[in-house]
Structure 1
Amino acid sequence: MPTVKEILNDTKKRLKEQGIDTYSLDSSLLVSEVTGLTKIQLVTHDRDEVTEEQINRLENLVKERLKNKPMQYILGHCEFMGLDFKVTENTLIPRGDTENIVEEVIATIENSGYNTVLDMCTGTGAIAISVAHYTKAKVTASDISSKALEVARENAKILNADVNFIESDLFENINETFDVLVSNPPYIESEVIPTLMEQVKDYEPMLALDGGKDGLDFYRNIINQAKNYINQNGCIVFEIGYNQGGQVKSLLENAGFVNINVKQDLAGLDRLVIGFKL
């Protein structure tokens, strides 16, 4: 039977030939998945033989990656804010960029003494669960997708996070008010979606991507009603696309929010907007 080193090198070769930039990392993750070895053990146990069952399983996973299926969907989980989240094709894959919005919410809670948070369009529950994990706030999360909420509830259970989940089309089933309303809504322009990378447009749920003609549909709909659901002196926090800061800021200003700030990510691109209700 082949060794760990042999199947790792073969996997790297196949992914590289397919033009997958992350072929080395992906190969290590896939071989680790089927052998149960850590990244370090792939080196220290590289002469260990693998079983036929492991080879067959690896082959199935490699075929999925060669089709540009995202690694997170192949493995069924991903890391976010130091926590391990289950992901399925019914949920958007949590991105590292979204950690910016979580960190902003956590800092705002700590600085302002906020106690209640609503995460709208929660998907995997990554934002809500992270906020619940790292603060003492009472967290509610909503999504229109029942399948996404199944994943979010499972993540909360696994991570021992106390989050109240509500199936709701935006505010339809929301009956409380909150100190913080946070959302990473769909914000990609409809006509841009066909130009996205295959692993995004072909696998991630369109429901979580399409923000309408100009990408702002969900911001408008949320902002138009948000003041009815935010407590006095509370705030609203959005993740945004790199080119949407000025537009979302204007929407918030027109709705009467104050002290509005557009903030950048580590790459210097506009990534979130925060505003306050007097």
Structure 2
Amino acid sequence: MAATLDAVLAAVRRSLAEAGVEDAGREARLLVAGLLGLTPTELLTRGASPVADAERAKVEAAVTRRLAGEPVFRILGRRDFRGLTLKLSPGTLEPRPDTECLVDAMGPQVDAIIARQGHCRILDLGTGTGAIILSLLDEHPLASGVGVDKSADALATARDNAAGHGLAARFDARESDWFSSVDGIFDVIVSNPPYIVSSVVDELERDVRDHDPRLALDGGADGLDAYRAIASESRRYLSQDGIVGLEIGYDQDGPVTALFEASGFRLTQRARDLGGRDRVLVFQPRG
């Protein structure tokens, strides 16, 4: 007799809890619903429904992967970000809720630019899945932009994500080491660059250390390499009233601000993440 959905869900929750997985109930629901193509409501209302042996085997294989340290969303191959379901791949950082703070901060800025000139052109440095720029394009139909990344795998994933949400016509993905292959002028430059100190990367939680690409994590000896590159070159690619919005590490407000001030920028806004830590800085060229 086939196991019921309730029984499968309970077994997954129990396996994760016994292995010490934090919030085992939530992760069990995410895995089972994601693998079986169920909505949260269906997960609750179809508990007595039988689960086919093949589907149950798929769930058990996923649990094995989770217990080996692979994150839930890596197993599912996708993650939701501001209402967009984004594909993940080995070359992409898994987008996380804190990064939504950057999109929140840039939204009113993009609105103001569009109100002033009828359109807004955005450059996303280190685009990964495209989470930041695709969210901005989705929420601002008169915006368009370019996402650059050093990883060909990440760029292919970003293109797929753009196409999947009807944004391909307003999005260009380009292989570039920061500004090396960038041309043109932009109204907004955004980035969630690598900012972890090199010596700390190997000490991160294994979900991050073993499954997010090191290229998207390692910010150099002091964690500031990417910010130096962005600060030193951004002005050449910004419109007269352009802005730069950045995600930062919780302790990098002062150092990143100093780098940009030394490159002729002024800080116009800072924002905190869901945990109350400094997470976003917005700069505009002086003068």
- SS of the aligned residue for 2:40 comes to coil
Q: Specify which of 134, 142, 145 is matched with residue 151 of structure 2.
A: 145
1 CA distance for matches of 2:266 and 2:138? 29
Tell whether the 8 Å contact from 1:35 to 1:50 is kept in structure 2 after alignment: no
Question: Partner amino acid for 2:273?
Answer: D
1:121 corresponds to 2:126:
yes
- Contact kept, 8 Å, 2:198 with 2:219, in 1: the verdict is yes
For 1:167-222, what per-residue CA distance to the aligned partner results, in whole angstroms no more than 9, with x for missing partners?
A: 10111111111111111100011111122111000111000000001100000011
Contact 1:249 1:260 in 2 (8 A): no
Aligned residues: 278
Query: Which residue pairs with 1:13 in the alignment?
Result: 14
Q: Is the 8 A contact 1:181 1:236 kept in 2?
A: yes
- Which residue of 262, 266, 277 maps to 1:258? 266
Equivalent residue for 1:154, pick from 152, 160, 165: 160
Tell me, in whole angstroms, the C-alpha distance in 1 between the residues paired with 2:35 and 2:94: 22
Spell out the pairing of 1:41-190 with structure 2 (5 A cutoff).
41-113=42-114, 115-135=120-140, 136-161=142-167, 162-190=170-198
Name the % identity: 37
Give the match's secondary structure for 2:75: helix
Q: Please report the TM-score for the alignment, with normalisation by the length of structure 1.
A: 0.96
From 222, 233, 247, the counterpart of 2:230: 222
Secondary structure at the aligned position of 1:173 is classed as coil
**1-structure distance, mates of 2:213, 2:35:** 27
* Deviating more after overlay: 32-41 vs 88-97: 32-41
How much does 1:259 deviate?
4.1
Q: Structure 1 stretch 22-31 or stretch 109-118: which is displaced more?
A: 109-118
Task: Choose 236-245 or 20-29, whichever is displaced more.
Answer: 20-29
Structure 2 CA distance, aligned partners of 1:170 and 1:97? 22
Amino acid at match of 2:43: L
User: In the alignment, residue 200 of structure 1 is paired with which amino acid?
Assistant: V
Distance (Å, rounded) in 2 between the aligned partners of 1:127 and 1:220: 21
User: Cα deviation per residue 1:45-89 (whole Å; 9 max; x = unaligned)?
Assistant: 212221111111111111111112111111111111111111122
In the alignment, residue 62 of structure 1 is paired with which amino acid? V
Q: CA RMSD in A?
A: 1.3
Deviation (angstroms), 1:22:
2.2
**Unaligned ranges ≥5, structure 2:** none
- Quote how far apart the aligned CAs of 1:106 are: 1.5
1:18-68 deviations in Å (ceiling 9; x for gaps): 111121111112222343332222232212221111111111111111112
- Report if aligned partners of 2:35, 2:58 keep a CA contact under 8 Å in 1: yes
2:35·2:76 contact (CA, 8 Å) conserved in 1? Answer: no
Amino acid at match of 2:28: S
Aligned to 1:247: 255
Q: Distance in 1 between matches of 2:194 and 2:143?
A: 25
| 8 Å Cα contact 2:113/2:120 also seen in 1 | no
Are residues 1:35 and 2:36 paired? yes
Give CA-to-partner distance per residue, 1:89-146, whole Å, 9 cap, x none. Answer: 2200011111111121111111244621101100000111111111111211111111
CA contact (8 A) 2:249 2:278 kept: yes
Structure 2 vs 1, CA of residues 256 and 185 (structure 1 numbering), >3 Å: closer, same or farther?
A: same
Q: Check conservation: 1:249, 1:262, Cα contact below 8 A.
A: no
TM-score by length of 2: 0.93
